[in-house]
Structure 1
Amino acid sequence: MPRTMSATEYQELGKKYYKQKEYQKAVDAFTEGIESMSIPSVSILNNRAASFEKLENFKLAVKDGRDMIKIDKKDVRGYLRTGNILQKMDKLDAAIGIYKYGIKNVSVADENFKLLQGIHDKLTRQLSPPKAIDPFVILPIELVEMIISYLTFRNMVTCLRVSKQWNRFLISRTPLWINLDLSYAKRQVSAKFVRNCIRRSQYKMKSAIVQRFTNQDVLRSLATTCKTLESLEFLSGSIAGDSLCEITMCATQLKKLTLTSNISLSLDAVTQILRHRPSLTHAEFHSIVTTGVRADWRVDLPNLQKLTLGCGQESSSPFSALLSLPALFPRAPNLLDLSLSHWRLHPNLLEEHDFTPLTSLTSLTLTRFTLSAFPRLPSSLTTLHLSSDNATIFTPLAPLAARNDQNALDSHLPHLLSLSLTHIAGLGPTLLSNLLLHHGTTDSAVDLSAATKLHTLSLAHAGILEKADLFALLHNPRLSALRALDLTAAPVDDEFVDTLALTQPALASLDLSKTRITGVAVKELLKRLGRQLKWLGLDQCTGISSDDVVELARGMGVEVRRRMMEPKGGKGRAVGRYFG
């Protein structure tokens, strides 16, 4: 009997019979439609398989399901239909195989992919012993993504080798690759690996930490193709200054650039980078090589908020005049954080000691610095850190001492929260007191109550003239809420305990290393300060003769660091002995 209907019409007729629960007639109609087609469609095979399933003819239903998969491996319906029928036939292992094959071939973007994954995971949990379950199988995809996001980049790369399923999943998740971190690298990183990471991010990489990788072509490609790149940090590598300049110029959206002490760069290259990339908000150069040529700042840097300039020539720290700081400051009016290390301030260039033009500055760090006079500071500072390895002396002899005290007085810091003056000798009581004063609206008024209270104070290896000066300093109202105090090598003895406990009741961290305090005084201090004290430094405290105080502190929940220096081999060689 010749057919008078098309395949589509037979399919619609079969659907009508199916709705009327006349499943055999539905099968017959779908069969007519299939036979009229040179290649059956997945849709009509799915309809007939459903009808066979209702008739409990599972063998023919599975055959139609497998035919659906053969016709289109990317269509999720074949896997769902076949797996479901196999489950009804109690062929669970075969069903898992079908679902797994589907997960491999169906696009993650398919709206029913999560349904396929979920059925596979649920069935796997039923058949597998708990200890053998793959977490990717147990957990929903959203939760897996959340967990993976907490892993370090190194651990995530390690997970690529767990299984093919993990590898496919991780490679397909673009957000996991937008932050490249090679800080873990123990050997040279291949160019192929970095190229793969860039491709997996779909060229949307936002940050890169580079270590043991020197392929300039790949770095240039990274900066050029990843238009969203905002942060570059170089931890090691032999990259020339010209190449670094070119790479930064290619990264048009770059906001943060960090070159650690392992990356040397000329002062001229530093100025070129800042001139060509004025969009930078964060720039750190920790190993600058000087040639005696002064920095030439030719462009305004209104976006720059954090700047670190470290000299790499430790043995011969050059004068900071080479930095042309007075010329830089007007160019970077919004600078919030400035850090300078291994430089010398010229004693005869008073403008080099003046940081007051930086009216927005909140943090100033001068480390391993040679200071001949106390700098003048902006009132906006909340953090001040001055340190030197050569016991920089603010001489007590006039007129320099008078200038130091006046500079401190002119640099009133009403917002200061953290103060660190370490390895600096000759810190007189007048200078410190002036530094902590808060000036009122009138020329002569001093209002300490309106000033913020310091949270952190470090006077490690700082030359306090007399013990009485230190005691008086701790009575300053601005120091009544200290959370951290470092008095390493200060004139502290047992008499100090009462004053410290009385004036500093909120201390959580206290360093009394290299002081004359005894174990008895430490026990009293622990008793008086209570359980808010969390850390205590007792290095080279020769007055402490036993470890009882360490055990007592531990019992109170206090972490103790105690290192005693002892001669070794009779040659006076010092080694550390650690307690706690």
Structure 2
Amino acid sequence: MARTLSPEEYEEIGKSYYRLKQFEKAVEAFTNGIDASAIPSATLYDYRAAAHEKLGDMNAAVKDGRLAIRTHKQDVKGYLRTASALQKMEKLDTALNIYKYGMKNVPVNNKDFPLLLQLHDKLTRTLSPPKAIDPFTILPVELVEMVIGYLSFKNMINCLRVSRGWKEYLTNRPKLWANIDLSSATKSVSRSFLANAVRYSRGTLHTLTVHRVQHTDMLRNIATACENLHALTILSFPYKISETFIGMAQSAQNLKRISIYTEVSVDTMIQILRKRPALELVDLKDLCAAFGSAPMVWKGGPYNGLQTLALQCNASPVTLSDNFVSTFIQKAFDLRSLTCVNIKVQRDGIFGTFKLHATRLTSLTLKKFHGHVTIPSTLERLVYDPSYPAFIAEPSCSRSLTHLTLGDDVNLRRLSDFLDYSGNPGDETRLPIENAKPLQHLSLAGTIERDSVDNSTPSSTIVSTFLSTSPRILTRALTSLELPGQPLTDDDIDPIIESTSLTTINISNTNVSGYGIKKLVDGVPTLRHINADHCRNLSSRDVIEYAKKRGVHVSYTMAEPSNGAKGRKVRYG
């Protein structure tokens, strides 16, 4: 009986045929060796794969390489052979994955691991794109400036650190330094940085936002040297130096807009306007009254350019006499937008009147307001949230009003009179307002009471009946309606959906149920958002999913019980 050769003997025979370039016989010998092995060695698979490569059968070579990997994961031969065959088949991405897989399984201390790593890195470089080209060197200047313009000032500063070339390019583009915004500063801004930033602008600086700047003398110098500076925002200031604010306003010859977030006295505001009467916007976020000051009097004027004035008091209210206000209004006859937060208007120790009916205002915001107010016929937007039960004083005319927001302490019983008539109720001079514009936005925070409508009105339709008392409310022009906390029910929904083209409605903390929300979704095709937070009668999420499928987002939040009491958890829709 003939003796069977061992796998090692078949391997030697195959290697002899391989050296003689008899690759078919070599494949046969290596196959016999594999068949004779209980567990074929990685070397046998590797040699047979090499013979297949010589015969041009790359698929067979890859197959043998994968068999070697499967049976001998920690042997580098299978990975090298498989990746080599794949590269010859131009399957470079697959070959790279084989190298990566091998680097995970072959021990680092293997003597052939450096070769595996070397081939992996070489193939990675081959697959990498050509050497990157600096976009600043090939793109048009206008395009680069447009791209950089989308970056924040802080990110543009970070770009200076990319390379010397980028720094040279950016610092030689004055337009990129026309808006110096230090709002993202996390530590004190150095004198040298601020000086360099202004120097890079080469006189084009038009907008400056100040934050964490300790050198007030530099700010005055910048205001003097930068003739194009027209917008100044001060977010923080190291000291309460009114003279610095006034000096900057006086030095910046072309300043049009100033916003100050730090504490500023009324007297400082007067001085700023007197020194720079051509200002178009003044926004003071923390107005205060000077302690022990004499009665304030407007100095200077007229303020021909002033279009927007915003005054906000964060601590105790600032008290102004109505004569003081009237004098200013007469001098700022081009004023279009006025915002007052936490302001008192007094006359002889009692509530005074903000007499605005002779102005040309288009936007008026009065929050935490103490006093009376009259409005002009040009007013389009009104936010009125006084600090005591009140309403708009007469004479007023709401002919142009399209956006109306009324706070908690507004007497809603006079709403229809305000929207449809000019003059005091019962006065002979009281006349209907002709050609009045329909409302586009209405927000009512005050409670609509039973005595606001006819006694025969069902309790379930008090709100819709109240809204119907003025022909300016429920029209196709109305796109936004906010009725939080009102006694709104499902029955009130029908008149609303029949008359309006709402895109958003706030019915939070009302008695509307899922049925009412479904009526809104089905009845108003323009609707996109419903705020139904804290609606007690809304017990199922089914209607929320129903609305979502029809493109309407429903906000539905129920507050968690406090003090450990049991109850509903927070739910979001």
Which amino acid is 1:507 matched to?
L
Paired with 2:383 and 2:432, the residues of 1 have a C-alpha distance of 24
Contact 1:563 1:576 (8 Å CA) reproduced? no
Paired with 2:323 and 2:184, the residues of 1 have a C-alpha distance of 34
Contact 2:329 2:359 (8 Å CA) reproduced? no
State the SS of the aligned residue for 1:564.
coil
Aligned alpha-carbon RMSD (Å): 3.0
State the SS of the aligned residue for 1:232.
strand
The Cα of 1:526 is off from its aligned counterpart by 0.9
Which amino acid is 1:418 matched to?
H
Paired with 1:488 and 1:529, the residues of 2 have a C-alpha distance of 19
> Using a 3 Å threshold, how does the CA distance of structure 1 residues 336 and 186 change in structure 2: closer, same or farther?
same
Query: Is it true that 1:436 corresponds to 2:431 in the alignment?
Result: no
Q: What's the CA shift string for 1:434-466, capped at 9, x where partnerless? A: 2112669x9665355x22222111112455555
- In the superposition, the TM-score normalised over structure 2's length comes to 0.69
Query: Is it true that 1:384 corresponds to 2:382 in the alignment?
Result: yes
State the SS of the aligned residue for 2:168.
helix
Contact 2:321 2:347 (8 Å CA) reproduced? no
Contact 1:216 1:243 (8 Å CA) reproduced? yes
Query: Is it true that 1:417 corresponds to 2:417 in the alignment?
Result: no
Q: Percent identity?
A: 33
Query: Is it true that 1:485 corresponds to 2:481 in the alignment?
Result: yes
Q: What's the CA shift string for 1:274-324, capped at 9, x where partnerless? A: 1111111111112112135432201112221111122232xx324332882
Paired with 1:473 and 1:299, the residues of 2 have a C-alpha distance of 48
> Using a 3 Å threshold, how does the CA distance of structure 1 residues 282 and 548 change in structure 2: closer, same or farther?
same
Query: Is it true that 1:344 corresponds to 2:344 in the alignment?
Result: yes
Contact 1:154 1:184 (8 Å CA) reproduced? yes
Paired with 1:348 and 1:529, the residues of 2 have a C-alpha distance of 52
Paired with 2:532 and 2:376, the residues of 1 have a C-alpha distance of 35
- Return the match for 1:460 from 430, 445, 453: 445
Paired with 2:381 and 2:157, the residues of 1 have a C-alpha distance of 39
What runs of 5+ residues in structure 1 fail to find an aligned partner?
A: 1-126, 395-403
Contact 2:557 2:572 (8 Å CA) reproduced? yes
Query: Is it true that 1:446 corresponds to 2:440 in the alignment?
Result: no
The Cα of 1:234 is off from its aligned counterpart by 1.1
State the SS of the aligned residue for 1:477.
coil
Contact 2:463 2:492 (8 Å CA) reproduced? no
The Cα of 1:384 is off from its aligned counterpart by 0.9
Contact 1:189 1:213 (8 Å CA) reproduced? yes
Contact 1:553 1:560 (8 Å CA) reproduced? yes
1:309 alignment partner in structure 2: 311
2:152 alignment partner in structure 1: 152
- In the superposition, the TM-score normalised over structure 1's length comes to 0.68
State the SS of the aligned residue for 1:194.
helix
2:355 alignment partner in structure 1: 355
Contact 2:321 2:346 (8 Å CA) reproduced? yes
State the SS of the aligned residue for 2:535.
coil
Query: Is it true that 1:542 corresponds to 2:536 in the alignment?
Result: yes
Query: Is it true that 1:558 corresponds to 2:552 in the alignment?
Result: yes
Q: What's the CA shift string for 1:178-234, capped at 9, x where partnerless? A: 111122223332222221110110022101111222320221121011011111011
Paired with 1:222 and 1:553, the residues of 2 have a C-alpha distance of 56
1:401 alignment partner in structure 2: none
2:524 alignment partner in structure 1: 529
The Cα of 1:357 is off from its aligned counterpart by 5.2
Between stretches 197-206 and 556-565, larger displacement belongs to 556-565
- Return the match for 2:467 from 474, 493, 496: 474
2:245 alignment partner in structure 1: 244
- Please list every run of at least 4 consecutive aligned residues from structure 1 whose deviation after the TM superposition is greater than 6 angstroms: 347-351
Contact 1:425 1:464 (8 Å CA) reproduced? no
The Cα of 1:469 is off from its aligned counterpart by 5.7
- What are the within-5 Å matches in structure 2 for residues 30-41 of structure 1? none
Paired with 1:569 and 1:434, the residues of 2 have a C-alpha distance of 45
1:200 alignment partner in structure 2: 200
2:511 alignment partner in structure 1: 516
> Using a 3 Å threshold, how does the CA distance of structure 1 residues 332 and 576 change in structure 2: closer, same or farther?
farther
The structure with the largest alpha-carbon Rg is 2
State the SS of the aligned residue for 1:319.
strand
State the SS of the aligned residue for 2:273.
helix
Which amino acid is 1:386 matched to?
Y
Contact 1:423 1:462 (8 Å CA) reproduced? yes
1:105 alignment partner in structure 2: none
State the SS of the aligned residue for 2:406.
strand
Q: What's the CA shift string for 1:456-491, capped at 9, x where partnerless? A: 111124555556563234333322111211111112
Contact 1:385 1:421 (8 Å CA) reproduced? yes
Which amino acid is 2:515 matched to?
V
Paired with 2:328 and 2:156, the residues of 1 have a C-alpha distance of 42
State the SS of the aligned residue for 2:142.
helix
Contact 1:329 1:357 (8 Å CA) reproduced? no
> Using a 3 Å threshold, how does the CA distance of structure 1 residues 201 and 343 change in structure 2: closer, same or farther?
same
State the SS of the aligned residue for 2:488.
coil
> Using a 3 Å threshold, how does the CA distance of structure 1 residues 319 and 384 change in structure 2: closer, same or farther?
same
Which amino acid is 2:234 matched to?
F
What runs of 5+ residues in structure 2 fail to find an aligned partner?
A: 1-126, 453-458
1:114 alignment partner in structure 2: none
Contact 2:230 2:256 (8 Å CA) reproduced? yes
Matched residue count: 428
Paired with 2:276 and 2:569, the residues of 1 have a C-alpha distance of 47
Contact 2:533 2:558 (8 Å CA) reproduced? yes
1:278 alignment partner in structure 2: 277
The Cα of 1:268 is off from its aligned counterpart by 1.4
2:258 alignment partner in structure 1: 257
